[in-house]
Amino acid sequence: MRTINYIVVHCTATQPDAKIESIKKYWRDNLKWKNPGYHFMIKADGVVVNTLPIEQISNGVAGWNSQIINISYIGGIDKNNNPKDTRTPDQKASILKLLRELKSKFPKAKVQGHRDFPNVHKACPSFDAKKEYSGLQ
Ligand SMILES: [Zn+2]
């Protein structure tokens, strides 16, 4: 297993009802990515989908991915495509449960949002993950 220094929370920056298959198709066909953007994706109904084994490297934060497990909730923008925390109560509960499980496997990993990395000019994940999950550190 590679060394995991960060567990990073993202949003997909799509509408909350976007389908995982169509997001994966976008990565593959438009961005030409070989691997998915995230290891886990959390649907609006709280279902967690493992999109890549954690041993492999996903495409969440440019330059940092070798040391990251990337997770993302589906949503993160409003109807006008502006950043918005669209997490449902089910998503919030599933994210927290998943983060707890990952932290127990990788106790030294820091939990933070995509935007908490240097030189990231995105709102992702559209809420303050570092603050919200400070109790997990
Ligand atoms: Zn992100």
The structural domains of the chain, ordered by start, are: 6-131 (3.40.80.10)
Tokens of 113: 């949002």
Q: What is the pLDDT along the chain (137 residues), one digit of tens a residue?
A: 999 999 999 999 999 999 999 999 999 999 999 999 999 999 999 999 999 999 999 999 999 999 999 999 999 999 999 999 999 999 999 999 999 999 999 999 999 999 999 999 999 999 999 999 999 97
The torsion angles phi and psi of 41, rounded to 5 degrees, stand at: -125, 140
For residue 134, give every residue at least 6 positions away whose Cβ sits within 8 Å of its Cβ, in sequence order, or none: none
Q: What is the pTM of this model?
A: 0.96
127 CA to centre of ligand 1 in angstroms: 11
76 CA to centre of ligand 1 in angstroms: 10
